[in-house]
Each structure stands twice: as structure tokens, then as C-alpha cells.
């Protein structure tokens, strides 16, 4: 298993003529540097769930995800490192060829069980799981690590870095757990921007709000809904072109599911003078680069 390199996770300034011209500073927190396969934010989201599972003497982590889920692969790896077994309940029929994500999850010792989309939607635990394990042995983690423990891990992570001077902290929410953790950890004068990577995801706002207390719900945070590029894990030639250009200009690799859309949005908003002069942005690079393995060879220059 590849080692984790927490010391490589640093805040880097992005030098770009557009940002200079608009007098907006843009920095990025390179959580992607933690590990080549495990998304940075996933690792932090899982921390308290795994601690809780161990404290309760649970044997097996059970969680849910799709065939390309960064959460599945992160859970497989983190469970193994914690000495716990893991089971991934995967949406849909078992495909003839497993995705890179699922192959890696198996490498980390995760047992995969495929279930139909209706059962998946209702989060029904397959009989196969219940035959072999008692409820007491199972520790369930929500799809995407959604929940308060997940958010708390992100708040801890943010506290590790010196972020007080930023006016905006920007992320690419899926479940919104990371965004909620950032809102909890941010200063009251900072605005958290969440660039939704799903189409018409009206439930995102509730997802985030439900993890916040009354005071936190009054803090400054906004959602962007115009940068999904067709929906979750959808992409266009424009997005791919942007990823290659960004890498060429700044050496920052992005993933097409989350971080490319976030960086595209920030770039676009800076161009449109959305941010006041003198604004200082921190863009959370949450990783997810393993997902690019599902793109046709030669699509990306990195």
C-alpha cells in the first residue's frame, strides 16, 4: 500500500495572469497530495467514524457507493489500516470488468456486494451481509461518509493550517459533509463557497444545513449550481481542455468529477469580477485523481 504523506499537504499560491490582473489572490490546499489513491477529504471524513467503530469493538465497516466512488476506496484503505474488515455495498449489477476504483478497493481487502438500484436507494443491507455478521459486529457508515463525525474530521483538518487571512474558502461538495466541516471551522467573516458537482442538486443545501447548529446555519456560505457540466461525473471537451490548460499553466492536476469543476468555477467567477479586488481565496483541492483512470487514455496531459 502506498504510504500517506501528510507533510506534503501544504497551501500553495497559484500564479496566474488572470488573478494578478483582477487583484484576487488564489491559493490551494493540496489535500490531493496525501495519497495517490485516497482522496484527501475522504481520509479526514473517516477519522472519527473509525475511532468510534474501534471504541465500540466493531469488527466490520459497511458502507455504500457507486463503481467510481472515492469514498469506497478510501473506506477500504482506512479500514484496513485500522485493523477492521470492510464491506462495500455497490450500486447496480456486477459489471463484467470492474472499475479501477473497485479493483483497488478489493486490493485493500474490501468485500464488494452488488445490489439493485432500488435496494440501493433504500439502503437495504443484503442478506449476504446479515448471514455472516450480527448487527452488533457491523459499523455502518453513510454513503460518502455523510454525517457529523465526517464534518468534525474536516473541521480538525482545517485547524491544522493557517487560514485566517482568507476571505473565501471554496470546495466541491458531493454530500456536503466537507463543506459543513469547513463552515464549522471558518471564521465568521469568511465565506464558504460550495460548487455543486451534481445537476439540480436541491438537496445539497439541506444536506449541509442539517449538519450545522443554529448559529452555524447563520454563517456565510453559498452554493454554485451552474458548474456541473451536465451532472455528476459528466464532462465536456471544454472541461477537459480546462484541466489540461490548468495543468500546463500551474502544474495542478485536477479530477474531472470534483476539483476540475471547482477550479473552472473559480476561474470563471474571477474573470467575471465576482470577487472584490483584494479578495483572498483558498481553494480546497480535495483530490479524487484516481477517478481520472476511467477516462480514455490520452485525454489528459498529466
Q: How far is the CB of 69 from ligand PLP (least distance, A)?
A: 8
User: Judged by CB, which is closer to ligand PLP: 14, or 208?
Assistant: 208
Q: How far is the CB of 128 from ligand PLP (least distance, A)?
A: 26
Residues interacting with ligand PLP, by CB under 6 A?
A: 39, 41-42, 70-71, 144, 172-179, 255, 258-259, 286-288
- The set of residues, in sequence order, having a beta carbon less than 8 Å from that of 48 and lying 6+ positions away, is 149, 150, 152, 153
Three-state SS for the chain is CCCCCHHHCCEEECCCHHHHHHCCEEEEEEHHHHCCCCCHHHHHHHHHHHHHHHHCCCCEEEEEECCCCHHHHHHHHHHHHCCCEEEEEEECCCCCCCCHHHHHHHHCCCEEEEECHHHHHCCCCCHHHHHHCCHHHEEEECHHHCCHHHHHHHHHHHHCCCCCCCCEEEECCCCCHHHHHHHHHCCCCCEEEEECCCCCCCHHHHHHHCCCCHHHHCCCEEEECCCCCCCCCCCCHHHHHHHHHHHHHHCCCCCCCCHHHHHHHHHHHHHCCCCCCCCEEEEEECCCHHHHHHCCCCCCCC
Partner residues linked to 285 by β-bridges: 30
User: Judged by CB, which is closer to ligand PLP: 22, or 282?
Assistant: 282
Q: How many residues does the chain have?
A: 302
What does residue 287 show for φ and ψ, rounded to 5 degrees?
Answer: 95, -135
Q: How far is the CB of 41 from ligand PLP (least distance, A)?
A: 5
> Which residue's C-beta sits nearest to ligand PLP?
288
User: Judged by CB, which is closer to ligand PLP: 258, or 275?
Assistant: 258
User: Judged by CB, which is closer to ligand PLP: 36, or 116?
Assistant: 36
How many Cβ atoms from other residues are within 10 Å of residue 16's Cβ?
Answer: 16
Q: How far is the CB of 74 from ligand PLP (least distance, A)?
A: 8
User: Judged by CB, which is closer to ligand PLP: 22, or 183?
Assistant: 183
Q: Are 157 and 181 in contact (CB under 8 A)?
A: yes
Q: How far is the CB of 72 from ligand PLP (least distance, A)?
A: 10
User: Judged by CB, which is closer to ligand PLP: 28, or 259?
Assistant: 259
User: Judged by CB, which is closer to ligand PLP: 22, or 176?
Assistant: 176
Q: How far is the CB of 108 from ligand PLP (least distance, A)?
A: 16
User: Judged by CB, which is closer to ligand PLP: 22, or 101?
Assistant: 101
Q: How far is the CB of 179 from ligand PLP (least distance, A)?
A: 6
Q: How far is the CB of 145 from ligand PLP (least distance, A)?
A: 7
Amino acid at each position: 500500500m502506498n504510504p500517506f504523506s501528510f507533510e506534503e499537504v501544504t497551501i500553495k499560491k497559484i500564479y496566474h495572469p488572470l488573478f494578478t490582473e483582477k487583484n484576487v489572490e488564489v491559493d490551494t490546499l493540496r489535500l490531493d497530495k496525501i495519497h495517490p489513491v485516497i482522496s484527501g477529504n475522504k481520509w479526514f471524513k473517516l477519522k472519527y467514524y473509525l475511532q468510534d467503530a474501534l471504541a465500540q469493538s466493531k469488527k466490520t465497516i459497511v458502507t455504500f457507493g457507486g463503481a467510481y466512488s472515492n469514498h469506497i476506496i478510501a473506506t477500504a484503505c482506512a479500514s484496513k489500516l485500522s485493523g477492521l474488515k470492510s464491506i462495500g455495498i455497490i450500486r447496480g449489477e456486477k459489471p463484467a470488468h470492474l472499475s479501477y476504483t473497485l479493483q483497488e478497493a478489493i486490493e485493500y481487502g474490501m468485500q464488494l456486494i452488488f445490489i439493485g438500484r432500488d435496494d440501493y436507494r433504500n439502503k437495504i443491507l443484503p442478506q449476504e451481509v446479515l448471514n455472516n455478521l450480527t448487527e452488533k459486529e457491523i459499523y455502518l457508515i453513510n454513503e460518502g461518509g455523510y454525517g457529523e463525525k465526517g464534518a468534525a474530521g474536516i473541521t480538525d483538518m482545517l485547524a491544522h493550517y493557517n487560514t485566517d487571512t482568507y476571505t473565501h474558502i471554496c470546495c466541491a461538495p458531493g454530500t456536503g459533509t466537507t463543506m459543513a466541516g469547513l463552515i464549522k471551522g471558518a471564521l465568521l467573516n469568511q465565506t464558504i463557497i460550495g460548487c455543486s458537482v451534481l445537476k439540480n442538486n436541491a438537496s445539497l443545501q439541506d444536506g449541509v444545513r442539517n449538519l450545522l447548529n443554529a448559529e452555524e446555519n447563520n454563517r456565510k456560505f453559498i452554493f454554485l449550481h451552474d458548474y456541473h457540466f451536465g451532472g455528476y461525473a459528466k464532462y465536456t471537451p471544454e472541461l477537459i481542455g480546462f484541466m489540461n490548460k490548468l495543468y500546463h499553466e500551474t502544474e495542478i492536476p485536477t479530477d474531472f468529477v470534483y476539483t476540475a469543476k471547482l477550479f473552472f468555477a473559480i476561474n470563471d467567477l474571477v474573470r467575471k469580477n465576482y470577487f472584490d479586488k483584494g479578495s483572498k481565496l483558498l481553494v480546497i483541492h480535495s483530490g479524487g485523481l484516481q477517478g481520472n483512470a476511467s477516462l480514455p487514455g490520452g485525454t489528459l496531459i498529466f
